[in-house]
Amino acid sequence: MGSLQGLALLVSLLVCGLSAWSAPAGVAAETPLEAFEGWMRRNGKSYKNVTERLYRLGVFRKNLKYVEEFLHGRPRSYTIGLNSFADLTNAEFRAIYSRPMENRTRATAFRHAGVTPPSSVDWRQKGAVNAVKNQGQCGSCWSFSAVASIEGINQITTGNLLSLSEQELIDCDYSNSGCDGGFVDYAFQFVVSNGGITTEANYPYYGLQYNCDYTALSSNAVSILGYEDVPRCDEQSLMKAVAIQPVSVAIEASGSDFQLYTGGIYNGPCGTNLDHAVNIVGYGTDDSTGTDYWIVRNSWGATWGDQGYILMAKDVSDPQGTCGIALQPSYPIMN
């Protein structure tokens, strides 16, 4: 099919059925085609041919309808929208961004048990959190979570916020599986055994797994003494830990609402089949509703969620926490 014929087909397919759609807030005056083209421009998206573009347009329209139905449904504490994942089906999203994670913790001491936590904490405001990073289509969330926690405790301990290397863990930590997933505690143990971890500038991120660069591997910038697991199913203990430093956690993050999340306090739908590692960098309470929340830093870039972050409901009735957030928390130790 020629490119002009393909574009004509694209337009004709869009026009058919336009009357059946009413766009959600923010795109009310646009047709689905106009909304899609605007979304492509904002997100820097392009497709290899007309067939792929048509397919992605169809997916986008289905997600647009899903967003519309969400907005017209019962009031929620969070919002969804046409974010950077709006051209992916949920099955595609799961295949790219979720990896089943072992639900395990080891028995460790919990050094923060005696902490009296303040009512709110935000480590971003204290300078202990780098700008949100983007793992791309590599299943390396475990490395981003581990690195962010090490970056945080290093800044808290030394006053220096360094950007450390996720790629070193992907390439050189053979206890994990690179872009096919991993376990944060194994990453912490690798850093302990290696005597430290180098900077992102020295070992930059490529979003693919390569052979280990042993020269960069030996140029350690930050070292840790060990790591501890927070007592599982205990949000009060988790709060104590976060009051002291950013904490790595695992969650179930594969649902459609999580995929398209844009803001507010997320309270589900989700289960506890852990498939994604993130970081808690603070907590607080919504002034208008009194709802407690965790401040969670993701690794899907700043165009997802609320500038790369999600607020997740805290102190919920399920002891496992929202999306299993209290099942597998851990943090590195520097002193």
The full set of domain ranges for the chain reads 3-75, 97-333
Q: How many CB atoms lie within 10 A of CB 68?
A: 16
CA distance readout (Å), 333 to 185, 194, 195, 280 = 12, 15, 13, 16
Half-sphere CA count of 53, side-chain side, radius 13 A? 20
- Considering 141, 172, 270, 323, which one is annotated as catalytic? 141
The architecture of the domain spanning 97-333 is Alpha-Beta Complex (3.90)
CA Rg value for the chain = 21
CA distance readout (Å), 253 to 5, 68, 235, 257, 289 = 40, 21, 19, 9, 24
Q: What is the pLDDT of residue 26?
A: 47
CA distance 311 to 90: 21
CA distance 282 to 246: 7
Residue for token pair 């805290």: 314
- Considering 202, 276, 279, 323, which one is annotated as catalytic? 276
Q: What is the pLDDT of residue 100?
A: 84
- Considering 83, 176, 279, 298, which one is annotated as catalytic? 298
**Tokens representing 126?**
């204290």
**Tokens representing 105?**
């913790």
Indicate the residue type of 75. Answer: P
CA distance readout (Å), 184 to 94, 139, 155, 296 = 20, 13, 19, 16
Q: What is the pLDDT of residue 145?
A: 99
CA distance readout (Å), 163 to 145, 171, 276, 315 = 13, 17, 21, 31
Q: What count of residues does the chain have?
A: 335
Average pLDDT of every residue of the chain: 92
Sign of the CA dihedral running 295, 297, 301, 302: positive
Q: pLDDT tens digits, residue range 137-186?
A: 999 999 999 999 999 999 999 999 999 999 999 999 999 999 999 999 99
298 is catalytic: yes
141 is catalytic: yes
Q: What is the pLDDT of residue 82?
A: 97
List of residues 6+ apart from 114 with CB closer than 8 A: none
**Tokens representing 80?**
């969804």
Q: pLDDT tens digits, residue range 33-78?
A: 999 999 999 999 999 999 999 999 999 999 999 999 999 999 999 9
CA distance 27 to 213: 47
**Tokens representing 238?**
């988790």
DSSP secondary structure letters along 213-248: -HHHHT--SB---EEEEPPTT-HHHHHHHHHHS-EE
**Tokens representing 184?**
């944060």
Q: What is the pLDDT of residue 103?
A: 62
> Is 0.95 surpassed by the pTM of this model?
no
Q: What is the pLDDT of residue 30?
A: 81
Does residue 120 contact residue 283 with C-beta atoms inside 8 Å?
Answer: yes
194 is catalytic: no
Residue ranges for the chain with pLDDT beneath 50 = 1-27
Beta strands in the chain (DSSP E): 78-80, 121-122, 226-229, 247-251, 261-266, 276-285, 292-297, 309-313, 330-333
Q: What is the pLDDT of residue 4?
A: 40
Q: What is the pLDDT of residue 17?
A: 40
